[in-house]
Amino acid sequence: MKNLFGSPGKVSGLVLRLGQCFFAASSLGVMAAAPGFSTATTFCYLIASMCLQLLWSFGLACFDVHALRSKRDLHNNIFVSLFVVGDWVTSTLTLAAASSSAGVTVLLIKDTNACRMERKFSCDMFQVSVGLAFVSWFLLAISSYVMFWLAATA
Amino acid sequence: MKNLFGSPGKVSGLVLRLGQCFFAASSLGVMAAAPGFSTATTFCYLIASMCLQLLWSFGLACFDVHALRSKRDLHNNIFVSLFVVGDWVTSTLTLAAASSSAGVTVLLIKDTNACRMERKFSCDMFQVSVGLAFVSWFLLAISSYVMFWLAATA
């Protein structure tokens, strides 16, 4: 069970965490660079949520590097319980942020034509940022379920 | 492990499923009755998602009633795997629908003042519907984690 794909202290776990960092940072960067993002509260919430996910995933990636270098086993109950709670909270917040931003983007592009009528919005960048946030959430959801499986079978 | 709170074929599981049905039906009813909901795609998606959750939770509540009446054990691997996948899909869709609707509601009320300027929107009803959808998602998330725990420890 300790050799499960994506478990902490394994190369696959590190790759998953680095992927989460990369997509969260990309989503954050694209949204922060998009003109007019501050008009909608939900885009600001996406930025805050991506910051939180970036910090969490980067912290766990550092943990994985430390465990791989020192060949230390991270599969004890305290670590796994902490990872389960943290992953669950961040994945829920990330999905909520990505979905709410997707809802607002669809409203601006399709329902109200605000993107065509007002030049201050950069709707293409909003779409790219939301897409990257969903990829980041998907990778985090995998980690989250692996951690929960490890906790349940500990 | 079979006596876990909210597991299938138990009274607590039935209560949880009936709660999900009640809140999903309430959210669906309030949103469908709110004037102007069809303006935003995300509110239509909330209705579709609540319909799906209502059908799923009602189906499982019927299963629970049948199991309680016939005293049949639902804790076999095929049932639990099916419940895990179904619960995961519906809870993800419900959270996405509730969050996207919340994002659009905040945009209409706070960011653009559309609720005050245009009388065709019933923003109070949008808020109530979104709140009920979040409660429904929370109950479904509990069921989802209980099922996953049962699958992991089977």
CB B1 within 8 A of CB B55: no
Predicted structure pTM score: 0.92
Amino acid code (one letter) for A141: A
Amino acid code (one letter) for B55: L
CA distance B131 to B137: 10
Residues in chain A with CB shorter than 8 Å from the CB of B110 are: 41
Nearest to A39 among B96, B111, B153 (CB): B111
CB atoms within 10 A of CB B131: 17
DSSP summary character for residue B76: S
Residues in chain A with CB shorter than 8 Å from the CB of B97 are: 99
Please list the pLDDT of chain B residue by residue as tens digits (154 residues). Answer: 467 888 888 899 999 999 999 999 999 999 999 988 888 999 999 999 999 999 999 999 998 999 889 887 777 778 888 889 999 999 999 999 999 999 999 999 988 878 888 777 888 999 999 999 999 999 999 999 898 888 888 7
Q: Chain A interface, mutation test: which of B44, B47, B89, B99, most A Cβ atoms within 10 Å?
A: B99
Length of chain A: 154
Residues in chain B with CB shorter than 8 Å from the CB of A145 are: 148
Please list the pLDDT of chain A residue by residue as tens digits (154 residues). Answer: 567 888 888 899 999 999 999 999 999 999 999 988 888 999 999 999 999 999 999 999 998 999 889 887 777 778 888 889 999 999 999 999 999 999 999 999 988 878 888 777 888 999 999 999 999 999 999 999 898 888 888 7
